[in-house]
Structure 1
């Protein structure tokens, strides 16, 4: 009797709620879409496309003296690394570049600190940048040769000129863009002078400072290669620009392109490893970049 009074047991079902009207349903990404979300793979595909265009143009011209193919250039590049010649030339250029770049960065920060500290310093910075920033660094090479002779000092001089002014302008513009609220907050905490610059202005101007460092690096790198193309050796050892110039005279066009490829590879490594790491530990850490 009690069994007849028990309600029947119904089978349970789970129904998925329909998506709200007007809301798109997210679908799982395909393999190619997942690859497309990584900047490294996107850039690799771009480089692959450029290499294919290069190879096609070389085969169309069919003149190795004017335009060697990508494969010939790659062979010359690997051969230069295997023989050690390309590595030696690159190391010589980078050693000079780092010296000039460091001096230029130091000089730019000193000028900028003077500009934010006094009105006279600001006038000096504005006057010098208006005069010297439009002046190409390579145009000072004849004077550098006259003053410092045929050596490393002349290269460092033109590199300092190419780095100093764009970095000083970017840094000063970044300091000027720091909100007055942050400056007042720093003063309320008793900060002034150099402490105010280091704890308030520098963190607030980090995007402009890093941008100036990147611009200064690019200017310095191309100025060094151009200067080495003009007079070549420094202290009896030529750099990467001299390597390009020598092979151009000997009509080794594949080695010329290999030297240019070395310039490009170094630029890519510095941009994607050096400055990206710098941005990661500065801009993103301070909350200045998403």
Structure 2
């Protein structure tokens, strides 16, 4: 008959192994769970699209296979990757500049009341302007060039990020600041250990909104300006001029696919991680 100590030790090993196996499989399961809803949504959209084509809802609507053929032709012709690269590079550079300016401006607005009173309404008004309205302003001021495209991104993304940062800072519970002062935190310590962690979830949301506008703005500028700037917007313009609905939809699919990939693959995990550290993630709250 085994000793009680060995039985307890074996039971402990069994419990430890049972806890380690789910931990080892957690990442694949979580990845599959996160990928399933987007894949299901894409499948549903493609099924409805194919059904609309077969039922003849529109004489100009191409089949999904035709759009896939146009994308394949662009890939074989060597024009697809350069178009994606140019548009993505403009968006990334514009977004990074917008993030730096928007974060600093949002913090200044939160810190200085008179500046918030005067500049805040202007930023709110700029947020309501679509990218198509900003393109003529940038083109007249800077000419039809790369600089005009970056200006459109800045004019649209900076107000969105700044207002989001301002809202995130102003929504910090005042009890946290009082507790920090009571414990002797002042100046940099308060900003580093209290303000920044408390405002971080709102800051991530602000950056996400800025990216959303920054991704749309270059396409609009490429589409509207007459300068032949390579990019996905140029593909849209070519499809419009050629009355090629399939090419237009191919460009739209590229815009949606890449924008969704950045949102799901970059900002989604970042937002979940920040919320999890704050104890606000759904799985943490339900535990």
* TM-score scaled by length of structure 2: 0.79
- Deviation track 1:57-115 (CA, whole Å, cap 9, x = no partner) reads 12222877x11101111122233223321111111111111111112111111111112
1:73-222 to structure 2, matched below 5 A, reads: 73-222=67-216
CA spacing shift, 1:242–1:194, aligned 2, 3 Å: farther
Matched residue, 2:277:
285
> Which of the residues 247, 258, 261 maps onto 1:255?
247
Distance 2:40 2:158 in 1: 35
Provide the aligned length of Structure 1 versus Structure 2: 253
Matched, 1:49 2:44: yes
* CA deviation after TM superposition for structure 1 residue 164, in Å: 1.3
Q: CA RMSD in A?
A: 2.4
Greater Cα radius of gyration, structure 1 or 2: 1
Gaps of 5+ in 2: 1-28, 283-287
Matched residue, 2:232:
240
* CA deviation after TM superposition for structure 1 residue 252, in Å: 3.0
Gaps of 5+ in 1: 1-33
Q: Secondary structure at the match of 2:276?
A: coil
Q: Secondary structure at the match of 1:284?
A: helix
- Deviation track 1:245-265 (CA, whole Å, cap 9, x = no partner) reads 112212332222111110011
Distance 2:90 2:66 in 1: 30
CA spacing shift, 1:155–1:190, aligned 2, 3 Å: farther
Q: Is the 8 A contact 1:232 1:238 kept in 2?
A: no
Q: Is the 8 A contact 2:95 2:157 kept in 1?
A: yes
Distance 2:81 2:160 in 1: 30
CA spacing shift, 1:146–1:194, aligned 2, 3 Å: farther
* CA deviation after TM superposition for structure 1 residue 193, in Å: 4.0
Q: Which has the higher helix share?
A: 2
CA spacing shift, 1:116–1:62, aligned 2, 3 Å: closer
CA spacing shift, 1:266–1:58, aligned 2, 3 Å: same
CA spacing shift, 1:193–1:116, aligned 2, 3 Å: farther
* CA deviation after TM superposition for structure 1 residue 195, in Å: 4.5
